[in-house]
């Protein structure tokens, strides 16, 4: 019985903490909390009270609690995790930690912690401290949206609050953890190296034995891992694409009402819960559906399987269902989705979901069955484009037969001494749809207008109307005039990634050497942020991005320039399509090499997991240093673990498939 540990828990199942103990040869007995008083606790080396296997915390009633108190008095080491009360500690409610993070409040080298270290335990549960007797500094305390990436420079003394304590010594023999810790691997706590050292410290302290955390590696690999072998290249590309298509079917990401592939659900939300499960986002939007329609079309182009074309057309029918057909000022508008987005139009979403896919389809096949709805959508967008060739970020339809609307342009601030230009979304509100073409759209942004302009340039090449070229040229000229300080949304990296495709389509439409030079300029500016892996780091010169460091809203993954974070939702996901299209229009192998580099990167970071919910996906964030999913998690809608079906998965596999067909498709660009 020497060195044996007592586990007090209601759970019958094992957990990550117990698996690490087993693999280290640590023996233990498990008792229900109501039976503790019936046993002799003196024979145990240490005691662990573990409540984290359940959302309902562990409760130990007085008859059993007092027996454990006696052991603490004797100097027996007790670790209490997610337990509603022990010794002199009392807790109240269990709350979500979605927007909180445990921060190290002191240097604690035994646990691998330095003061200011930020740990991420995803969307966990913690108990709010009501009373405690300890006067010492906590090892960890929760902070709401702490500033920083791996560390925060906040004044922690000012932030100290007992109600938010996460991990602390209540007594020399009692270590208290207020949050659910036991499934730290399944729940994807990050950074992994920090958590492994902390777990090692806790287990060594309570068991009195040396702990080898390498035994956790197989458990981590079951949760998710990567395959860095990208050869044979074409085979690996096809496998990556097929795994994405399989993921959609396995996880029922298609809405199949009306006995068809009707639409596409949004994907996986930002929340990873304490048991390792993910929040599913069932919302249906135009962009995700349209991007998957195009992915299926490219699959048809590769395989010549008409069933793929049938799926693509079926999903496209949903876009046609969203198109306004009532006569009036909104005729032709593509609604942004069902329910909440019914009366909203983002031109970027219309371009990604419908215009670009259908224009590429016309270019590649000569099939013109979508020409009329494409023209109607383009005409609506042009009618609501500013005199500078740009649209405000989005427009609202109040009623199809009314000119009443809502739109707000950005306001450009005077350049600073260093030349940096900032923009704020506080321009004068427009409430009459007839006003839009009479004023500037004032949104020189790749995020909001880049792919809309790309669709206009491509429409000119495919459909031949000068008005498409004229509008696109005006808008692109405005962007070029303020470049590189365009109106950024999440980062400079994002803007550069978003501007490559419209720059390529501009050159395709005009053949101008000046326009060709701008394409190369944008592409080469992006290379400043290229990592040896083939990825591009998030960066924001001058920190002008609207979503930089925000709280309670959408937020970039970047804390400061130099953070080793990659964004697969707003930045790199656009590059496979953008690089291969640039190759098609320039015929320059330089762009094909860039396409291959970014594709190899995506092959390396596609998740492989025993959990089919995440097997085959790319998440929003990737920490390129630690090779794990991690980034600033403040975004309320799209945090590091978010998986967007269209913007991320769809766009990446569209670009991969186009690249695999490069020899055939390049002939279409004349």
pLDDT tens figures, 545-604: 999 888 888 999 999 999 999 999 999 999 999 999 999 999 999 999 999 999 999 999
User: 1 pLDDT exceeds 90?
Assistant: no
- Phi and psi torsions of 279, nearest 5°: -80, 130
405-434 burial code (b ≥16 CB/10 A, e <16): bbbbbbebeeeeeeeebbbeeebeebeebe
pLDDT tens track for 435-466:
999 999 999 999 999 999 999 999 999 999 99
Surface-to-core class of residue 615, CB atoms within 10 Å of its CB (0-12 exposed, 13-18 middle, 19+ buried): middle
Is 224 among the domain residues?
no
Instruction: Give residue 635's pLDDT band: very low, low, confident or very high (50, 70, 90).
Output: confident
* Number of domains into which the chain is organized: 2
Terminal-residue alpha carbon distance, the chain: 81
Q: Is residue 285 part of a domain?
A: yes
- Residues 483 and 630 both lie in one domain: yes
Reduced to 3 states (helix: H, G, I; strand: E, B; else coil), residue 407 is strand
- 417 in the same domain as 363: yes
Note the pLDDT tens digit of each residue in 462-512.
999 999 999 999 999 999 999 999 999 999 999 999 999 999 999 999 999
For residue range 372-415, list pLDDT tens digits in order.
999 999 999 999 999 999 999 999 999 999 999 999 999 999 99
Domain containing 97 — which CATH number? 3.40.50.880
Q: Which of 449, 450, 468, 472 is nearest to 459 (CA)?
A: 468
Q: Which of 219, 248, 264 is the last residue of a domain?
A: 219
Residue 225 belongs to some domain of the structure: no
Q: Are 455 and 523 in the same domain?
A: yes
Q: What residues form DSSP beta bridges with 272?
A: 278
d(CA 411, CA 283): 32
Q: What pLDDT, on a 0 to 100 scale, did the predictor assign at position 38?
A: 97
- Please tell me whether residues 513 and 604 are part of one structural domain: yes
Whether residues 118 and 149 fall in one domain: yes
What is the phi-psi region of residue 511: left when phi exceeds 0, alpha when psi lies from -120 to 50, beta otherwise?
left
Tell me if 249 sits within 8 A of 227, measured CB to CB. Answer: no
Do 490 and 576 lie in one domain? The reply is yes
How far apart CA 354 and CA 451 sit, in angstroms, is 11
**CATH code of 336's domain:** 1.50.10.10
Q: State how far the Cα of 95 lies from the Cα of 309, in Å rounded to an integer.
A: 48
| Residue 227 counted as domain residue | no
Same domain for 642 and 541: yes
Contacts of 667 (CB under 8 A, 6+ apart): none
Question: In this structure, are 159 and 293 located in the same domain?
Answer: no
Claim to verify: residue 206 and residue 260 sit in the same structural domain: no
Question: What DSSP state is assigned to residue 340?
Answer: G
How far is residue 402's CA from residue 389's CA, in Å, rounded to a whole number?
A: 24
What pLDDT, on a 0 to 100 scale, did the predictor assign at position 201? 99
Domain that holds residue 513: 233-668
Write the CB contacts of 600 (distance below 8 Å, at least 6 apart in sequence).
230, 233, 534
Report the chain's mean pLDDT, rounded to a whole number.
97
User: Is the preceding peptide bond at 484 cis, omega within 30 degrees of 0?
Assistant: yes
Mean pLDDT of 136-148: 96
Cα torsion through 523, 529, 531, 537, rounded to 10: -110
The lowest-confidence range among 154-158, 173-177, 351-355, 633-637 is: 633-637
To the question of pTM greater than 0.95 for the whole model, the response is: yes
Task: Summarize pLDDT for 422-437 with one digit per residue, the tens.
Answer: 999 999 999 999 999 9
User: Given 190, 219, 248, which residue is the final one in a domain?
Assistant: 219
- What per-residue confidence (pLDDT) applies to 2? 53
Regarding whether 250 and 109 lie in a shared domain, the answer is no
CB 37 within 8 A of CB 67: yes
Does residue 304 belong to any structural domain of this protein? yes
3-state secondary structure 536-586: ECCCCHHHCCCCCCCCCCCCCCCCCCCCCEEECCCCHHHHHHHHHHHHHHH
pLDDT band at residue 532, thresholds of 50, 70 and 90?
Answer: very high
Q: Where does a domain end: 150, 185, 219?
A: 219
**pLDDT, tens digit, for every residue of 174-216?**
999 999 999 999 999 999 999 999 999 999 999 999 999 999 9
| Contact present, 91 and 128 (Cβ < 8 Å) | yes
| Residue range 229-284, pLDDT digits in tens | 999 999 999 999 999 999 999 999 999 999 999 999 999 999 999 999 999 999 99
Residue (of 485, 465, 324, 473) closest to 397 by Cα position: 324
In the chain, DSSP finds a helix count (H) and a strand count (E) of: 19, 23
Contact 644, 620 (CB under 8 A): yes
Residues 260 and 206 in one domain: no
DSSP 3-state assignment of 241? Answer: helix
pLDDT of residue 322: 98
Which residues lie below 8 Å from residue 156, measured CB to CB, with a gap of 6+? Answer: 103, 105, 115, 116, 141
Cα–Cα distance between 471 and 481 in angstroms, integer?
16
Q: Are residues 205 and 246 in the same domain?
A: no
Taking a C-beta distance cutoff of 8 angstroms, is the pair 569, 642 a contact?
yes
DSSP E strand boundaries for 302-374: 344-345
């Amino acid at each position: 019985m020497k060195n044996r540990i007592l586990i007090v828990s209601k759970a019958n199942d094992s957990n990550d903490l117990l698996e690490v103990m087993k693999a280290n040869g640590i023996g233990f007995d498990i008792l229900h909390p109501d039976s503790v008083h019936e046993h002799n606790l003196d024979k145990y080396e240490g005691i662990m009270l573990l409540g984290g296997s359940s959302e309902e915390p562990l409760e130990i009633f007085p008859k059993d609690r007092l027996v454990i108190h006696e052991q603490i008095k004797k100097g027996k080491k007790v670790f209490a995790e997610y337990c509603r009360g022990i010794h002199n500690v009392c807790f109240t409610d269990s709350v979500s930690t979605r927007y909180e993070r445990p921060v190290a409040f002191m240097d604690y080298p035994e646990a691998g912690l330095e003061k200011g270290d930020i740990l991420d335990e995803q969307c966990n549960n913690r108990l709010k401290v009501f009373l405690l007797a300890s006067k010492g500094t906590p090892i960890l305390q929760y902070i709401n949206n702490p500033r920083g990436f791996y560390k925060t420079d906040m004044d922690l003394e000012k932030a100290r609050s007992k109600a938010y304590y996460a991990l602390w010594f209540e007594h020399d023999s009692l270590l208290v953890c207020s949050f659910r810790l036991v499934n730290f691997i399944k729940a994807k706590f990050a950074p992994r190296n920090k958590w492994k050292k902390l777990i090692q410290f806790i287990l060594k302290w309570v068991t009195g034995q040396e702990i080898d955390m390498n035994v956790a590696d197989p458990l981590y690999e079951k949760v998710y891992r990567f395959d860095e072998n990208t050869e044979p290249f074409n085979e690996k590309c096809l496998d990556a694409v097929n795994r994405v298509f399989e993921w959609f079917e396995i996880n029922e990401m298609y809405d199949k009402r009306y006995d068809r592939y009707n639409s596409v659900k949004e994907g996986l939300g930002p929340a990873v819960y304490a048991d390792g499960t993910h929040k599913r986002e069932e919302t249906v939007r135009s962009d995700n559906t349209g991007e998957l329609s195009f992915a299926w079309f490219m699959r048809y182009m590769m395989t010549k399987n008409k069933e793929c074309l049938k799926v693509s057309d079926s999903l496209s029918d949903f876009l046609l269902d969203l198109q306004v057909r009532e006569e009036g000022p909104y005729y032709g508008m593509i609604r942004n989705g069902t329910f909440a987005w019914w009366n909203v139009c983002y031109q970027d979403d219309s371009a990604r979901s419908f215009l670009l896919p259908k224009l590429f389809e016309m270019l590649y096949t000569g099939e013109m069955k979508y020409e009329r709805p494409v023209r109607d959508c383009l005409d609506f967008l042009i009618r609501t484009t500013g005199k500078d060739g740009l649209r405000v970020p989005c427009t609202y339809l109040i009623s199809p037969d009314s000119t009443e609307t809502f739109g707000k342009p950005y306001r450009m601030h005077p350049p600073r001494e260093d030349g940096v230009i900032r923009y704020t979304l506080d321009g004068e509100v427009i409430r009459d749809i007839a006003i839009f073409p009479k004023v500037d759209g004032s949104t020189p942004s790749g995020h909001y207008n880049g792919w809309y302009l790309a669709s206009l340039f491509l429409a000119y090449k495919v459909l031949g109307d000068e008005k498409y070229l004229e509008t696109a040229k005006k808008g692109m000229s405005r962007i070029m005039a303020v470049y590189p300080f365009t109106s950024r949304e999440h980062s400079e990296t994002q803007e550069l990634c978003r501007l490559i495709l419209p720059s390529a389509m501009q050159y395709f439409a005009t053949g101008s050497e000046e326009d060709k030079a701008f394409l190369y300029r944008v592409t080469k500016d992006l290379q400043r942020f290229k990592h040896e892996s083939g990825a591009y780091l998030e960066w924001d010169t001058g920190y002008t991005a609207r979503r930089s460091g925000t709280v309670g809203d959408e937020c970039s993954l970047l804390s400061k320039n130099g953070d080793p974070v990659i964004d697969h939702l707003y930045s790199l996901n656009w590059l496979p399509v953008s690089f291969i299209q640039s190759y098609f229009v320039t015929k320059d192998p330089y762009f094909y090499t860039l396409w291959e580099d970014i594709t190899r990167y995506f092959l390396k970071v596609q998740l492989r997991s025993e959990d089919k919910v995440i097997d085959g996906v790319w998440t929003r964030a990737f920490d390129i240093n630690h090779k794990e999913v991690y980034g600033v998690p403040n975004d309320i809608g799209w945090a590091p673990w978010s998986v967007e079906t269209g913007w991320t998965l769809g766009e990446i596999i569209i670009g991969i498939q186009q690249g695999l067909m490069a020899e055939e498709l390049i002939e279409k660009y004349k």
